[in-house]
Amino acid sequence: MRLGLVAGSPIEWLAVRLNLVPRPLMDTQVAFTLAQVIMVASKIGLFDALASGPATAEQLARQCATNPAATEKLLPSLVASGYLRARAGRYELTGLSRKWLVSSSPRSLADKLALQFQEWTLLEGSEAFVRSGTPVDVHDTLSDDEWGLYQRGMKALSGSLTGPLAKAVPIPAGATDLLDIGGSHGAYAVALCRRHPGLRAVVLDLPEAVRHAAGLLAAQGMGERVRHREGDALADDLGERCYDAVTIIGVVHHFTDEQNRALAAKVARALRPGGTYTIADFFRLDDPGRADQVPALMDFYFALTSRSGTWPPDRMADWQREAGLAPAKPVRLAASGGVGLQSATKPR
């Protein structure tokens, strides 16, 4: 999956094919302006304001407490980009914005877009990073408010992935105990427990994360069946033969190769025989000539913000094999933009 130019006519299609369109401008000025327009519209509550029905620019400006003339400038670009429709002087939601941007939608990314203002600032450090090689370690620099934004953003991101992931994570028959490392809001552990009625879960995360994720987990109504444990997966003992399944979703890109190897060894010890260790993350391809756009860009982003990056599935399997686990074939999640699962089983 990749971003691309969509031609509006056969002539435009030909112009794209013949490399006549200045694509770097589309990939930069158009892309970053579009990103700001959508993020700002979401932040001022424009999509929520339209959830109850169409409205004029003036009505929207009143509801969002924004400047009417400036709001009027924002709206046509959202129409042209498929996020709104304009009819008889009034604006309305499209299927795209109703599903992904209205905050009451179960798939709403509104909290993720709010987090992206912070990610934008981090990305402004790209040139310094490329020149010096010095990354920022995001987990060391976040303020308390930013930790809150981060956890809500991750919860929003999980909306479209919990279903496919819960189906794809192998849970042994009769399993009772799950550990989700770096599990934050707990939505994945909750989805797995709902799918496997005999399962209870521990969601391990850093204390700063748990402070903000506790309310997000409580709101999912699982009570004591899914509970937080504050700690550091890299430093803490995970126990011995106490879990039937361990998951780590969207976290190994924060850890180095060495840290991931050491963690796999601790997980192997913590698993009961027959238990599974599932790593879910962007799958990077080792061959740069075949790189997928989203995992490749995420690799750069995590190198900038976490001193690490995305990993190829065969490297994840190496960590598991070295820890004495038997890796299965990697599974790619079709609608995820490049996320896959690498699972392994502890021999009986």
Ligand X SMILES: C[S@@+](CC[C@H](N)C(=O)[O-])C[C@H]1O[C@@H](n2cnc3c(N)ncnc32)[C@H](O)[C@@H]1O
Query: Nearest distance from residue 344's CB to ligand X, in Å?
Result: 18
| Residues in touch with ligand X (CB under 6 A) | 139, 154, 157-158, 182-184, 204-206, 209, 232-234, 249-251, 254
SS3 133: coil
Query: Nearest distance from residue 243's CB to ligand X, in Å?
Result: 15
Query: Nearest distance from residue 279's CB to ligand X, in Å?
Result: 11
Nearer to ligand X, 206 or 297 (CB): 206
Query: Nearest distance from residue 218's CB to ligand X, in Å?
Result: 16
The dihedral sign for the CA sequence 146, 147, 148, 149 = positive
Q: Beta-carbon neighbour count of residue 180 at 10 Å?
A: 28
> How far is the CA of 334 from the CAs of 161, 168, 220, 322, 337, in angstroms?
10, 12, 26, 29, 7
Query: Nearest distance from residue 251's CB to ligand X, in Å?
Result: 4
Query: Nearest distance from residue 181's CB to ligand X, in Å?
Result: 6
> How far is the CA of 291 from the CAs of 2, 147, 285, in angstroms?
11, 31, 5
DSSP letter for each residue of 73-116: HHHHHHHHTTSEEEETTEEEE-HHHHHHTSTTSTT--HHHHHHH
Nearer to ligand X, 173 or 235 (CB): 235
Nearest CA to 152 among 65, 42, 244?
42
Bridge partners of 341, per DSSP, are: 280, 331
Residue type, 249: I
CB contact at 8 A, 306 and 137 = yes
- Using Cβ positions, the residue closest to ligand X within the complex turns out to be 182
Per-residue exposure over 257-290, b if at least 16 CB sit within 10 Å of its own CB, e if not: eebbbebbbbbbbbbbeebbbbbbbbbbbeeeee
CB contact at 8 A, 295 and 338 = yes
Nearer to ligand X, 91 or 150 (CB): 150
Nearer to ligand X, 234 or 303 (CB): 234
Query: Nearest distance from residue 133's CB to ligand X, in Å?
Result: 22
Query: Nearest distance from residue 33's CB to ligand X, in Å?
Result: 27
Nearer to ligand X, 249 or 270 (CB): 249
Nearer to ligand X, 84 or 217 (CB): 217
Nearer to ligand X, 72 or 230 (CB): 230
DSSP-based helix, strand, coil % in the chain, nearest 5: 50, 15, 30
Nearer to ligand X, 184 or 343 (CB): 184
